[in-house]
Structure 1
Amino acid sequence: MNTPLTHSPLNCFPVKDDCLFVGGISLTELATRVGSTPFYAYDRRLISERIQQLRTHLPPGIHLHYALKANPMPALVGYLAPLVDGLDVASLGELRLALDSGMPPETISFAGPGKSDNELAASLAAGIIINMESEGEMERIARLAEKQGHRPKVAVRVNPNFELKTSGMKMAGGPKPFGIDAERVPPMLTQIGALDFDFYGFHIFSGSQNLRAEAIIEAQERTFKLALELARSAPGPVRLLNIGGGFGIPYFPGDKPLDLRPIANNLATSLPEVNKQLPEAEVIIELGRYLVGEAGIYVCEVIDRKISRGHVFLITNGGLHHHLAASGNFGQVIRKNYPVVVGNRIQGSARETVSVVGPLCTPLDTLADRMELACADVGDLVVVFQSGAYGRSASPLGFLSHPAPAEVLV
């Protein structure tokens, strides 16, 4: 049996009459309003509160960008756009969403190691900033820009020689497909100077999903140092310094929420020197999961209850095809349970240890393994918390051809 989360999602979502409320609506009423299960629901209030928390703690010189890869739901992107300072995209589809949101093109950036010519051409036509990830990409941008008659807005994505320690996904340090090795950047900057490019600055992103403030502080300090060194070779003033994000959220037993205070204090100490040496630079923190992850839930319905050799299985109409991360098949080495409840029976009149599984013909289709939950029956609603990021869009929706889940912003 799993121990409870140090930080309970029930601190974020109210409970009344033993039923979860989302966006001020009871879960049972919300399910009726959506019209079918499974579905994802995202709470506007929690998103706004998270952004306000960041604005309160971080120094005023920090610009906040939202990374659409975390959750590209159009209504959510449209809601977020006025609350942040910029958007970061990683595909042509995300670029269209970002432009539809009304965000000014010069505050939209495109990162990704395999941009197609169509994506680069669209980026040039839209006037967004392209984070170049190789010398070859730079050459393709030059050819396309000459053909289109556009002056490219570019930044250099740097692969530093350090990583964000204890991060869920390491994006830098050593050989990586992301960015240009730091030692190769100065000669590339010379090449940029010889081209008719509008140089903006650097994107240095070293890792994600980190709950240790000291690790994030160390990575930020090394990022500032590297940026100042590279700026000496820049073909023009650095106007943009994207230092990535890496801010994590608690998912598993024993996880503690990230403490923003030491990160904010260190940034307040470091920024004056950065601003002195790079007076035109906007310092950007790019966040995805941290802005929306805890604001979302995944809801599925119990369609059968069975006992196999003394163990109770709740079989639902949801599963890994909708929520790959919660199944443990999205990067977990050892599977751990996301926080899960029976949403219309939070405590229940009785409790039992069960496994929550989906309808797919694979033993990988598990949403909760041997968790203590309220006793549930057919028709009850199972809720997976921490589902606002890398949920629906990061899952194999076509697997076994079941219907895709709905999404609502409440």
Structure 2
Amino acid sequence: MKHPFRTQGGVLQIGGVDLRRLVARAGRTPFYVYDRSLIDARIRSLRETLPPDVELHYSIKANPMPAIVHHLASRLDGFDVASAGEMMLALDAGTSPERIGLAGPGKSHDELRRAVAAGVVIHVESATQLHLVTALGLELGIRPCVAIRVNPDFKIGKGGMRMGGGAAPFGVDASQVPALLRDLTRQEVAFAGFHVFWGSQCLHAPTIVQAHRQSAELVMRLADSLEAPPAFINLGGGFGIPYFAGENPLDLHAVGDAMCDWLPDLQRRLPGTRVVLELGRYLVGEAGVYVCRVVDRKVSRGETFLVTDGGLHHHLAASGNFGQVLRRNYPVLIANRLDDPAQERCHVVGCLCTPLDRIADGAHLPAASIGDLVVVLQSGAYGRSASPTDFLTHPPPVEMVV
């Protein structure tokens, strides 16, 4: 798989810095490092390709590193958060509360109380949440701002992870939204908009185009009963990045061209309504790598194992234990031997006492020695924060932005 990083003298560079210098800067392996220039390039590409009226939000769950959040705060139009902790990250980055949306099916009483007090937009996902938010607003003397997260009445087609379109814990079924809207008018809340999240990690542009069109049509139908157009509609995101052999990057131009076709009709029907895309891994996933070191090399019954000081406790997704049905390898490099031929088949494993701790199975790599650096590409999203870092009480990985 091609990667966006430069190389010099057979050594990978991240943000223009030699990986060996980054090891010294980190003080030890394993570590994550994120290239801010690649994040900025992805944002520029989105701004240049999508219609100018489309707003971009960052889904903090993809990578909540504070330095990443602060970097994006001045470059994007808002944040989508899924916990009080993520909400505080967005607020601490200087984002206005009305530009922060709190979603999630299981918001606690304490989280909702803090969200009402902060003034963020609460994406309610049930009548229970709406009534609790109303009660908290009365208690605090604040009129809460809410949106309705809609579980759409359509299913996505090819590719991606489905987050709606059938029985799901996420959102309010589209058929139940009209009743909730009537209930909402009797509550002491301010209604801001709709959030339709149909899926994620989709590389098939026609599927995204169809989902966007159907989401827009759904929202326009739901908005017919409103006295005024909603302030915004959040169409989710769904944009994926390639992880595995044979996967191709998303055709962003196809998505942008289609949006230019259907957006004018929505703007005529709902004048003044802002259209928001909520993106996570598409913004940061390809900008990060995970770096660990070979600490042992061994042969067992004819098969070579490279044992590293990393593993699934730092990078659960790369091990295949974060939702993969059939395990496949993330792209892996021997980062200080990039000019050497891939001459051996080996298994790259971590340091944990479980057979699940595999970074790569049957990978074709240059012959590696103890001390060499293993890099897992496509690691900028759902890496450290999505992993069981306390397992076996190894030190957590360092994180750096360059």
* TM-score category (smaller protein): over 0.9
User: Would you say 1:338 and 2:330 are equivalent positions?
Assistant: yes
Could you tell me which amino acid in structure 2 is paired with residue 369 of structure 1?
A: D
The TM-score, its normalising length taken from structure 1, stands at 0.97
User: Would you say 1:282 and 2:266 are equivalent positions?
Assistant: no
**Unmatched 5+ stretches in structure 1:** none
Cα distance in 2 for partners of 1:125, 1:76 equals 25
Query: What is aligned with 2:10?
Result: 18
User: Would you say 1:347 and 2:347 are equivalent positions?
Assistant: no
Query: What is aligned with 2:106?
Result: 114
**Unmatched 5+ stretches in structure 2:** none
Helix, strand or coil at the partner of 2:317:
helix
Could you tell me which amino acid in structure 1 is paired with residue 60 of structure 2?
A: L
1:187 to 179, 182, 190: 179
Deviation (angstroms), 1:197? 1.1
Query: What is aligned with 1:43?
Result: 35
Deviation (angstroms), 1:235? 5.4
Deviations 1:120-169 (A, max 9, x none): 11111111100000000001001111000011111000001112223432
1:219 to 211, 218, 240: 211
Which deviates further from its counterpart, 43-52 or 271-280?
271-280
Helix, strand or coil at the partner of 1:312:
strand
Deviations 1:24-60 (A, max 9, x none): 1111110011101000000001000000000000000
Percent identical across equivalent pairs? 53
Query: What is aligned with 1:291?
Result: 283
Aligned pairs, number: 402
Tell me, yes or no, if the aligned pair for 2:341 and 2:365 is still in contact at 8 Å: no
Cα distance in 1 for partners of 2:335, 2:72 equals 27
User: Would you say 1:396 and 2:393 are equivalent positions?
Assistant: no
Tell me, yes or no, if the aligned pair for 1:163 and 1:171 is still in contact at 8 Å: no
Q: Using a 3 Å threshold, how does the CA distance of structure 1 residues 123 and 357 change in structure 2: closer, same or farther?
A: same
Helix, strand or coil at the partner of 1:327:
coil
Deviation (angstroms), 1:61? 0.8
Deviations 1:294-338 (A, max 9, x none): 000000011001111121110000001110000011111111000
Query: What is aligned with 2:118?
Result: 126
Deviations 1:210-253 (A, max 9, x none): 00000000101100110000001235431110001000000000
Cα distance in 2 for partners of 1:396, 1:349 equals 34
Cα distance in 1 for partners of 2:159, 2:382 equals 16
Cα distance in 1 for partners of 2:159, 2:397 equals 30
Deviations 1:181-233 (A, max 9, x none): 00100011011111121111100010000000000001011001100000012
Cα distance in 1 for partners of 2:309, 2:227 equals 56
Helix, strand or coil at the partner of 1:285:
strand
1:136 to 117, 128, 131: 128
Cα distance in 1 for partners of 2:299, 2:50 equals 51
Deviations 1:262-318 (A, max 9, x none): 110110111111011111211000000000000000000110011111211100000
Could you tell me which amino acid in structure 1 is paired with residue 209 of structure 2?
A: I
Superposed, 1:45-194 pairs within 5 Å as 45-194=37-186
User: Would you say 1:245 and 2:237 are equivalent positions?
Assistant: yes
Query: What is aligned with 1:316?
Result: 308
Superposed, 1:379-390 pairs within 5 Å as 379-390=371-382
Tell me, yes or no, if the aligned pair for 1:327 and 1:365 is still in contact at 8 Å: yes
Which deviates further from its counterpart, 189-198 or 247-256?
189-198
Could you tell me which amino acid in structure 2 is paired with residue 343 of structure 1?
A: A
Helix, strand or coil at the partner of 2:318:
helix
Query: What is aligned with 1:232?
Result: 224
Cα distance in 2 for partners of 1:234, 1:193 equals 10
Helix, strand or coil at the partner of 2:248:
coil
Superposed, 1:340-379 pairs within 5 Å as 340-348=332-340, 351-379=343-371
The TM-score, its normalising length taken from structure 2, stands at 0.99
Deviation (angstroms), 1:350? 6.4
Query: What is aligned with 2:298?
Result: 306
Helix, strand or coil at the partner of 1:324:
coil
Which deviates further from its counterpart, 168-177 or 59-68?
168-177
Tell me, yes or no, if the aligned pair for 2:342 and 2:364 is still in contact at 8 Å: no
Deviation (angstroms), 1:399? 1.0
Tell me, yes or no, if the aligned pair for 1:190 and 1:235 is still in contact at 8 Å: no
Helix, strand or coil at the partner of 1:407:
strand
